[in-house]
Amino acid sequence: MGMSKKDMDRRKHILKVKLEELQKKVDMDPLKRDRRLHEEYEEIKKKISEME
């Protein structure tokens, strides 16, 4: 059974909030020393774009 529109909107909102939090951390690490952080940021961006 698929997700309802309300569930999808809720999940998308949660991902956007997490993306905003990660954005702050990514901005503080311009030299990309924490690769895992940058990979997680890109992964969440990809998930959000797939949902739209």
Reported as a single tens digit per residue, the pLDDT across 6-37 is 999 999 999 999 999 999 999 999 999 999 99
Model confidence, pTM: 0.84
**pLDDT by residue (tens digit) across 34-47?**
999 999 999 999 99
Residue 1 pLDDT exceeds 70: no
**Measured distance CA(26)–CA(32) in Å, rounded:** 8
Q: How much of the chain is in helix, strand and coil states, percent to nearest 5? A: 75, 0, 25
**Measured distance CA(21)–CA(4) in Å, rounded:** 26
Burial of 36: CB neighbours in 10 Å, binned 0-12, 13-18, 19+ = exposed
